[in-house]
Amino acid sequence: MWNLWQSSFVRSLILDSALFPAAVTMLIVVAAYYKTRKCPRWRSIIWGAAILGGFLGGYALIYRDLSFPFPPRTVLSWLPWLALMGGIVVAIADRRKHPGWRYGARGMTASVSAWILLWPIMRQESVLAAFLAWLTVAGLWSVLWLALIPDKRDQKSTGATLFVGAVGLALVAPLSSSILLAQFGSALAVVLAVALVFSFLMRGSRWDSPSADVGVLILGALMVDLRFYAGASMGVMVWLLVSLAAGAGVASILQHRGSSSRWAVLTPGLISSLPMAVAGWMALQTYLASGGGY
Amino acid sequence: MLQNKVSIALRTTILSVALSASLVSLADAATYHRLDASPAGSYRIDPDHSLAWFTIGHAGVAVVVGRFDKLSGSYTFNPASPAGDKVDIRIPAASINTNFALRDHDLRGPDFFNVREFPNITFVSTRYQPTGKDGGQLFGKLTIHGVTRPVAFHVREIGAGPVPALPKPWGGYLSGYVATTTIQRSDFGMDAYAGMIANTVHLHVNIEGVRTAG
């Protein structure tokens, strides 16, 4: 174990994809907590900023792209811009009273994000194939987004489901040809975990929609990359999606029953970890069948 | 009667020896040798006799060799007028082959070549500067992983001339080169596993071309 830490390769993996994002998230949370003592209303935006800040800190180290160039050069270079711009769009839409704005903003953000992320593939395909691929991704993304964040309730339970999704992606990605995506998944999982723990510790704090929206955007973009660029199998992807849907479903049931304990927050995550384990097992079987590590 | 038989046997023996000697001399004529005719002309790269390959350090203890199984393009060389020399090469990145399917799958993924997003590796020359009778520096723009950088290949001419039966069936006028250069993969946005895989990559391109215009 000590030998592993001696390796600069392993050390940079752990620092970039876990310790640094966690430290950034913690710093933002603690700083924001003290800065907002006189104005607790602002505390609700801590979690969104902490999740985005922590993930982007890890992203910059992992992708070695500190400049966030615009226009982005690669699909993965779009990730920070999609998270930031998408987060702002849905946050603005949430200020409108009519729920149509809420649904429309999320559907539009998912559709535009899917278009941007799939564009390099779509331009190589026939018009029909490209349109179907985009429609499928945009549709699934929108539906899952609205299922995970259906209204303005406290979104901690969605955070727990997204945490499981990020952990699953971090486990599945290296078995499906991308340690890079695994590192991004790990960074997202760590910042969600830190934000969840601190939100439990800070009495009366709640996750507003933008916090979970940022998580949905980042996780969605990583899943698109995992399927279309890393070539993860359809079976693995289906189980990953089932996992998120299961978490959303359980959270919705508990919400209708009026449960509000910590278990009500954690249960969706626990339930969604079951299909996630199936996805991991399937990816492992495929990996072992193709010869294992090298 | 006996004298006739001896005479026939003797003649047959002499004929056999003479035939064998001429076959041996024919075999001697098939010795491999370099063709050193003029390489001037425009050529289409013959993918069956061309290869792009590379070496890269692994884990600080070894050197891994990989290749690209597909390659196409064209080139024009004229030793009398190097200003018009031009090379255009296209390599499908998905044709990478490091002799291990799982590793090749990883190399095609987002961590390295990201072939769905950047399907081709290309090289387009900008100028050729001869440095001797059979070699020179080929300057141009190399695009890998969607990033274009200027590079200079050291080029060595292997040979040129008419070759019977190649390309099949009737033969043609061929020329061949070996080009080498060294790049840093991080310059092309491929930074993954920096602590495990070296940054320096030695590129080698072995080209055989069929002349399409003199």
pLDDT score, position B96? 97
- For residue A177, the chain B residues in CB contact (below 8 A) are 105-106, 108-109, 111
Q: Which of A142-146, A147-151, B42-46 has the lowest mean pLDDT?
A: A147-151
Q: A56: pLDDT confidence band, cut at 50, 70 and 90?
A: very high
Long-range CB contacts (< 8 A, 24+ apart) of A146-151?
A146/A103, A146/A106, A146/A107, A147/A245, A147/A248, A147/A249, A147/A252, A148/A212, A148/A216, A148/A244, A148/A247, A148/A248, A148/A251, A149/A106, A149/A209, A149/A212, A149/A213, A149/A216, A150/A252, A151/A99
pLDDT bin (cut points 50, 70, 90) of residue A113 is very high
- Which has the closest alpha carbon to B48: B69, B67, B75? B69
Q: Is residue A292 very low, low, confident or very high in pLDDT (cuts 50, 70, 90)?
A: low
Q: Which of B102, B114, B191 minimises the CB distance to A294?
A: B102
Instruction: Output the pLDDT for position B82.
Output: 85
- CB of B123 within 8 A of CB of B140? yes
Residues of B in contact with A8 (CB under 8 A): 195
pLDDT top residue among A211 and A190:
A190
> Of the ranges A205-214, A235-244, B15-24, which one carries the lowest mean pLDDT score?
B15-24
d(CA A166, CA A194) in angstroms, rounded, equals: 13
Report chain A residues whose CB lies below 8 A from the CB of B196.
Answer: 9
Dihedral sign for Cα A98, A195, A55, A286, please. negative
Task: State residue A92's pLDDT score.
Answer: 86
Across the interface, whether the CB atoms of B189 and A74 are under 8 A apart is answered: yes
Q: Which residues contact B192 (CB under 8 A, 6 or more apart)?
A: A179, A180, B111, B112
CB neighbourhood size of B154 (10 A): 14
Q: Report d(CA B1, CA B40) in Å as an integer.
A: 67
Q: By mean pLDDT, which of A17-26, A144-153, B115-124 is the weakest? A: A144-153
For residue B160 the two structure tokens come to 């040129």
CB crowding B46-84: b at 16 or more within 10 Å, else e: beeebbbebbbbeeeeeebebbbebbebbbbbbbeeeee
Query: Does the beta carbon of B63 lie under 8 angstroms from any beta carbon of chain A?
Result: no
Question: Which stretches of chain B drop beneath a pLDDT of 70?
Answer: 1-7, 9-10, 12-13, 15-29
Report chain B residues whose CB lies below 8 A from the CB of A225.
Answer: 110
Which of B116, B189, B196 lies nearest to residue A228, judging by beta carbons? B116
Report the C-alpha gap between B193 and B188 in whole angstroms.
14
pLDDT at A254: 86
Kindly report the average pLDDT of chain B as a whole number: 89
Fold category of B41-213 in CATH: Lipocalin (2.40.128)
- Residue A119 and residue A130: Cα distance in Å, rounded? 9
pTM over 0.90: no
Pairs of residues, one from chain A and one from chain B, whose beta carbons lie less than 8 Å apart: 70
The alpha carbon of residue B95 is apart from the nearest alpha carbon of chain A, in Å, by 16
Do residue B147 and residue A73 have CB atoms under 8 angstroms apart?
A: yes
Question: Which residues in chain B have Cβ-Cβ distances shorter than 8 Å to A67?
Answer: none
C-alpha A42/C-alpha A26 separation (Å) is 17
Predicted confidence at residue A265, as pLDDT, reads: 83
Per-residue pLDDT averaged across A47-59, rounded?
Answer: 91
Q: A139 Cβ partners below 8 Å, 6+ apart? A: none
Enumerate residues 105 to 164 of chain B having a beta carbon within 8 A of any beta carbon in chain A: 105-106, 108-111, 114, 116-119, 146-147
| All residues at 6 or more sequence positions from A89 whose CB lies less than 8 Å from its CB, including other chains | A105, A108, A109
Closest residue in chain B to residue A176, using alpha carbons only? B106
From the list A74, A291, A292, the residue facing B117 with the nearest CB is A74
Which of A229, A233, A284, A288 to mutate to test binding with chain B, by most B CBs within 10 Å of its CB? A229
Partner residue facing B109 (CB), from A8, A10, A230: A230
Give the residue numbers in A contacting B (CB under 8 Å), as ranges: 7-12, 63-64, 73-76, 120-121, 124, 177-181, 225, 228-231, 287, 290-292, 294
**Distance of CA B191 to CAs A63, A97, B75, B197, B199, Å?**
8, 46, 32, 9, 8
Confidence label for A293 from pLDDT (cuts 50, 70 and 90)? low
In angstroms, the CA B54 to CA B90 distance is: 16
Residue of A nearest to B106 (CA): A177
DSSP state of A98: S
From the list B102, B103, B193, which residue is nearest A9 (CB)?
Answer: B193
The answer to whether A46 touches A32, Cβ cutoff 8 Å, is yes
- Residue A116: both structure tokens together: 């941007």
d(CA A49, CA A32): 9
Cβ of A229 within 8 Å of Cβ of B196? The answer is no
Is A231's CB within 8 Å of B196's CB? Answer: no
Task: Write the CB contacts of A114 (distance below 8 Å, at least 6 apart in sequence).
Answer: A134, A137, A138, A141, A224
Q: Does the beta carbon of B104 lie under 8 angstroms from any beta carbon of chain A? A: no
Task: Look at residues B213, B212, B204 and name the one whose alpha carbon lies nearest to residue B167.
Answer: B212
Q: Do A73 and B189 touch (CB under 8 A)?
A: yes
Q: Which residue has the tokens 């003797």?
A: B10
Q: In this structure, what DSSP letter does residue B81 have? A: -
> What whole-number distance in Å separates Cα of residue A208 and Cα of residue A45?
7
Between the alpha carbon of residue A15 and those of residues A61, A241, B111, the distances in Å are 9, 29, 18
Residue type present at position B89: I
Contact B110 A180 (CB under 8 A): yes
Q: Which member of A64, A73, A76 has the closest CB to residue B110?
A: A76
Residues forming beta bridges with residue A218, ordered by sequence position: none
